[in-house]
Amino acid sequence: MQLILASISPFRKIILEKLNIKFTTIAPENVDETPLPGEIPEQLVSRLAESKAKAVGKSLSNALVVGSDQVAVVDGQIVGKPGDHENAIKQLKRASGKRVSFLTGLCLYNTESKRVQIEVAPYNVIFRQLSDKQIENYLKAEQPYNCAGSFKSEGMGIVLFKRLEGDDPNTLIGLPLIRLVRMLESEGFTVL
2 closest CA partner among 58, 66, 80, 48: 66
Helix (H, G, I), strand (E, B) or coil at 90: helix
CA atoms within 13 A on the CB side of 147: 22
Which candidate in 32, 69, 75, 167 is catalytic?
A: 69
Render the burial of 79-96: b for 16+ CB within 10 Å, e for the rest. Answer: bebbeeeeebbebbebbb
Q: Which helix (H) or strand (E) holds 128?
A: none
69 labelled catalytic = yes
CA dihedral 168, 170, 176, 179 (to 10 degrees): -40
Contact between 168 and 176 (Cβ < 8 Å): yes
The set of catalytic residues is 69
